[in-house]
Amino acid sequence: PTMQAVLLSWVPKKERSRALSLVTSGITAGTVGSLFLAPMLVKSFGWQSVFYVFGATGFVWTLPWLAIAEDKPKSAEDCAPYACEIEDIEDLLVDKIDDSPPDWTAIPWGEIFKSRAMQGVIACAIAHNVGLILMLSWLPTYFASTYGLDVTNAAAVSAPPWICSFVVANLSGVVADGLVERGFEAGAVRRGFQLVGSVGPSLCLLKIALGQKTAEEATFWFAAALGLAGCSLVGFNAAPQDMARRYAPVVYGTFNAIGNLAGSLAVWLAGFALQANPTTGFQQIFFVAVLIYWLGAAAFLGSYRGEREFA
């Protein structure tokens, strides 16, 4: 949520899709690193070392952030290299725009949840996070149980899909910005990329559910699924940039929290499905994920217009 406010104050509208993609795709880049590093740490130092090392990296990133980060430009010179191309930059510099964090009780929660666009975004966030977190959590287990790979090899073949996601997400950001700069409506651009980001992964998971003979074939389709899912970073994930300014972090935090809760619940339920049906459990999980992807896409495409909804 914090980054939504930072990008609104520092990045011009014509470059926000690529900036948001780059920032958010850091999650997938970190996932790739962890898939290689975690097995080595467990093997050499025990499972506790994973938590110590990954926890310590948070402090490493915090130090430069505290040293250089600012909420917004303090002067026109701070805007380089954009020459203060941010809309309303003059008002922002002299505090005419109220971008202070809103009081919890002053947030228009009723208005936010009644918004059809917001409802569509929430539905899409649920679908995206169910698919994403299921793959994040169960991909190594899938390769280990289906193809008999050990933990290290299962983690290694799980990495290419996340690399594809990182690459596609950042390419999508550049293309989306180019379309907006050429005059396409932001809402149409978001819907188009979200269509690819929802239907694409669902079709790939459907292909996987129908069975793949080798781990290499499964890796290819998972890579395609997560790569296409990267388009969602300039789809529903970019909605707060269109829908609000002051409340952009609230909008993002709301649908992101709901989406992650749904994804976490899906991981928990998937565990029960695998216990009950060890041989066909993954097939059932993927079929359900496909259906959820389609429902989320339909809700978003039918309601989102890319218009300012909140302050």
Q: What is the pLDDT of residues 155-166, one digit of tens each?
A: 667 778 888 888
The residue among 170, 140, 153, 239 whose CA lies nearest residue 28 is: 170
Q: How far are the Cα atoms of 16, 18, 94, 180, 228 from residue 177, in angstroms, in the given order?
A: 7, 7, 28, 5, 18
Read off the pTM: 0.83
Tell me, what's the pLDDT at 78?
62
Copy the structure tokens of residue 212.
């793949």
The distance in angstroms from the start CA to the end CA of the chain is: 16
| Dist CA 121 CA 127 (whole Å) | 10
Axis crossing angle, helix 116-147 with helix 281-303, rounded to the nearest 10: 160
Least confident of 2-16, 175-189, 199-213, 216-230: 2-16
The pLDDT of residue 99 is above 60: no
Tell me, what's the pLDDT at 298?
97
102-119: pLDDT as tens digits:
666 688 999 999 999 999
Residue 100's pLDDT band (boundaries 50, 70, 90)?
low
Q: How much is the average pLDDT of 52-74?
A: 84
Tell me, what's the pLDDT at 113?
94
Tell me, what's the pLDDT at 82?
52
189-203: pLDDT as tens digits:
999 999 999 999 999
Tell me, what's the pLDDT at 194?
97
Q: Is the pLDDT higher at 300 or at 135?
A: 300
Tell me, what's the pLDDT at 296?
96
Tell me, what's the pLDDT at 310?
85
Tell me, what's the pLDDT at 98?
55
| Dist CA 227 CA 274 (whole Å) | 26
**Burial of 293 per CB tally in 10 Å (0-12, 13-18, 19+):** buried
Q: Is the pLDDT higher at 23 or at 155?
A: 23
Please list, in sequence order, all residues whose beta carbon lies within 8 angstroms of the beta carbon of residue 309, skipping any fewer than 6 positions away. 115, 117, 118, 243, 244
The pLDDT of residue 80 is above 60: no
| Dist CA 238 CA 121 (whole Å) | 10
Tell me, what's the pLDDT at 92?
52
229-263: pLDDT as tens digits:
999 999 999 999 889 888 888 999 999 999 999 99
Q: How much is the average pLDDT of 129-134?
A: 92
